[in-house]
Structure 1
Amino acid sequence: MAAPLALKARVGHVLRASLIPVGRWLSREQRRELTALAAYGGLVHQAFHARPFRPFVCTDVVLEEEWVPMGRLQPTESPARRERDNAVHHYGHDVVLKRAAGLPLVGRSLPFMLEHGVNFSDVSAYEDPLPWVRSYLCMGPHRAERLRTRFEVGGVAVGPYIQYARSLLLEQRQQQLRRELGRTLLVIPAHTVVHVDRRWEAQDLIARIEAHRRDDAYDSVIWQCFWKDEPPSGLPADWILACNGHYSNPWFLDCQRTLLELSDAVVACSLGTHVGYALAVNRPVLFAPLEIEQDVSAASALWQHRYQSEWEERARLMAAMGLQRHGPPLQSLDPVQARAVLEPYFGFDIHCSAPRLAGILQGEA
């Protein structure tokens, strides 16, 4: 009897000894991720609290505990390793949702994936679900149903992700800043994406905004740059440049929520996630019907088809919202009509409680 017990003890000792380095490695990985969260937190704090107000977050990324230029990454790569699926880290979606669910921001990886934006066309898609995925999150019920039927995965609509974000500013500071800025327009222009180059006449848009600013007595204009795009030349000197940083910034959505809450209206020239977010936080949307050229020649044939289908569906939805291609320079979006048209994609009426959201992220959808 003594021999089997001794053998069992030796085996147990060997297993424990072999697992100690793994445990230490996991601990190092978690510490590294927590350090990155804190580093980005300091970056966005500086950007949004500096005076004068210039909320331009640097587009560098934290890689192996060092700040490096974003060019060190592949076009769709995040250096974060908080979750198994790399794309859930884009725009800090995993952080915002786990925080709202009351779950640790860094810990055991969870069996979920998510759409890190909104697709309107049924042929459009982000990442295909992997075998371990138990919940595939999106914003609206139409997309959730599409995920279920297309991939036979647990597609779950959780409503606009922006509703789970928080302003970076304390209430008193935010109110003070709003008084300093006065009536403010937030401009979110069309931007490039992977393998797609979008071109439009920036000076035309600037002129339209300046005219509207004078006519409607706006005091400030915030021009929000996308992390891939340089701001256009010729911006008025008193306009405020903003940027939420690279999409690896885990506080990206908090930055976006802050800009929206500081603004009185949003100017857009294309339909996208930003329009739904503005509607979700009850900000009026002004549309500038610009001619936008979309060059997809760098994409594969499959993606060219997807991009074209997506562009056509967006045009159809804009018409359904009452927008005119050759109408006034800036057209006010009817919020009731717009929410009705976009509800299937954004799920404006959906809000998950913390326990419900925690269950979804843990694969209990």
Structure 2
Amino acid sequence: MKWKKHIRTLMLKNYLFNRFVLYIRRAIFFSSYLKMKRNSKKEVWEIKELSEELKNSSTEWCLDASNFGIGWSLEKYIKSTKVKKYYLEHGLFLGEFIHEDTLYVNTDYFLVQSPYRKEVLERKFKSKKIIEIGSYINYAEDYYSEEKIKVLKEKFGKTLVVFPSHSTSEITSEYDKESLIKEILSIKIRYGFKTIIVCLFYKDVQRNENTEYEKNNFLVVTAGNRFDDNFLSRLKSIIKLSDMTMSNNVGSHIGYCLALGKAHYIYKQEIEVKSTEQLKSLEEWKNRFSKEEWETLDKERSKIYNTFKEYSESISTEQFKLGQYYFGINNKKTIDEMKEIIGG
């Protein structure tokens, strides 16, 4: 809706309007805020409860930082809610694509995860200060204690964590689930895994995508709703439970796994994207990128896929270098360094 876009643009441009709208929104959606707090006690396998709809009740000045608990994690890391006005992207962006927010946001202070993204934004915005901070997951607190992780790992034995391609509020991600399950079972037998954990995005839990995985005795988990402050923390603990990680598509999860020292394997599948009721048409979604942007994006995706298409339980030098360039896996800042970067 055009009026929503106008309000968002004004929130990006005007700090006082931003504060007014977000605190009003917190009050209106306070029940979602309370539900999110209650969910902080849930286990990662309580997927139905963690996947319930939440309204965005965040008061993060940077609108993208309200996604996946990124802003909340950064503030907890430096132990302060007083931060500079900064802008960041909420996930992996490939190609030359830039979010429309960057054209309006009232700050010259951009945070990025990787050298790759810094290069792209520096080409687009000559006057902005672009700062690499590395993988966001490095700043998230662990959802589970070290002791609990140890107990669970002893219980699960050798564990493979799988990240199937996920849907969003605007699109569904369709793939040959039977083929993926067959590959997972083959790997389980071949490499001696005791436990298979499948981490689903909350939208896919809502679509009951967990059913087929559970029929094969896989443990299905979720990091929760995208507007849940503990999303990254849950994801961090889920990855830490693994001995090996796997997916069927390129995404942020690859960088997060590498940042936590976990090797990754991509089982390439054709992913069919379909529009949901929230999107007028699939063409609307596709038109967000120009033809040239799609071509560059596909080229970068292929490069990442080709680097992870062979199964290996150790991270190769080539994979580490790619992980550093595209995902910033080894760029974690100290608390003092991060205070200097974002402290208010």
TM-score range, shorter chain: 0.7 to 0.9
The 1:334/1:340 distance shift into structure 2, 3 A limit, reads same
Of all paired residues, the percent bearing the same amino acid is 18
The 1:82/1:110 distance shift into structure 2, 3 A limit, reads farther
The residue identity in structure 2 corresponding to 1:224 is: C
Q: CA deviation at 1:176?
A: 1.0
> Any conservation in 1 of the 2:112–2:130 contact (CA below 8 Å)?
yes
Q: CA deviation at 1:96?
A: 0.6
Q: CA deviation at 1:160?
A: 0.6
Structure 2: gaps (5+ residues) = 1-18, 275-281
Aligned residue number for residue 338 of structure 1: 319
The residue identity in structure 1 corresponding to 2:113 is: M
Q: CA deviation at 1:337?
A: 1.1
Matched residues in 1 for 2:30 and 2:318: separation? 43
Q: CA deviation at 1:113?
A: 1.3
Q: CA deviation at 1:318?
A: 2.4
Whether 1:323 aligns to 2:309 is yes
Q: CA deviation at 1:213?
A: 0.7
- Give deviations 1:161-206, integer Å, cap 9, x for gaps: 1111122112222211111111111110112346544321010000
How does 1:4-153 map onto structure 2 within 5 Å? 39-48=35-44, 54=46, 57-63=49-55, 79-104=56-81, 110-125=84-99, 127-151=101-125, 152-153=127-128
The residue identity in structure 1 corresponding to 2:201 is: F
> Any conservation in 1 of the 2:166–2:201 contact (CA below 8 Å)?
yes
Q: CA deviation at 1:157?
A: 0.8
Q: CA deviation at 1:98?
A: 1.0
The residue identity in structure 1 corresponding to 2:73 is: V
> Any conservation in 2 of the 1:288–1:331 contact (CA below 8 Å)?
no
SS at match of 2:111: strand
Aligned residue number for residue 233 of structure 2: 254
Count of residue pairs the alignment pairs up: 313
Q: CA deviation at 1:144?
A: 1.8
The 1:126/1:244 distance shift into structure 2, 3 A limit, reads farther
Q: CA deviation at 1:287?
A: 1.9
Q: Which has the higher helix share?
A: 2
Aligned residue number for residue 182 of structure 1: 157
The 1:341/1:46 distance shift into structure 2, 3 A limit, reads closer
> Any conservation in 2 of the 1:111–1:362 contact (CA below 8 Å)?
no
SS at match of 1:258: helix
SS at match of 1:286: strand
**TM-score, scaled to structure 1:** 0.75
The residue identity in structure 1 corresponding to 2:268 is: P
Q: CA deviation at 1:334?
A: 4.4
Matched residues in 2 for 1:117 and 1:126: separation? 15
Structure 1: gaps (5+ residues) = 1-22, 64-78, 325-329
Q: 1:155 aligned to 101, 125, 130, which one?
A: 130
Q: CA deviation at 1:158?
A: 0.3
Q: 1:303 aligned to 281, 285, 289, which one?
A: 289
Q: CA deviation at 1:362?
A: 4.2
Q: CA deviation at 1:126?
A: 6.3
SS at match of 1:120: coil
The 1:291/1:259 distance shift into structure 2, 3 A limit, reads same
Aligned residue number for residue 314 of structure 1: 301
- Give deviations 1:272-313, integer Å, cap 9, x for gaps: 110111111111212212222345534252436445542332
The residue identity in structure 2 corresponding to 1:192 is: S
Aligned residue number for residue 167 of structure 2: 192
The residue identity in structure 1 corresponding to 2:67 is: H
Q: CA deviation at 1:332?
A: 6.1
Structure showing greater radius of gyration is 1
SS at match of 2:102: coil
Matched residues in 2 for 1:331 and 1:171: separation? 26
The residue identity in structure 1 corresponding to 2:124 is: R
> Any conservation in 2 of the 1:134–1:153 contact (CA below 8 Å)?
yes
Matched residues in 2 for 1:110 and 1:219: separation? 46
Aligned residue number for residue 194 of structure 2: 219
Measured on the aligned residues, the alpha-carbon RMSD in Å equals 3.2
The 1:301/1:120 distance shift into structure 2, 3 A limit, reads closer
The residue identity in structure 1 corresponding to 2:259 is: A
SS at match of 2:87: strand
- Give deviations 1:47-76, integer Å, cap 9, x for gaps: 24xxxx54565233454xxxxxxxxxxxxx
The residue identity in structure 1 corresponding to 2:65 is: V
Which range moves more in the overlay, 306-315 or 133-142? 306-315
The residue identity in structure 1 corresponding to 2:339 is: A
The residue identity in structure 2 corresponding to 1:87 is: D
SS at match of 2:36: helix
**TM-score, scaled to structure 2:** 0.79
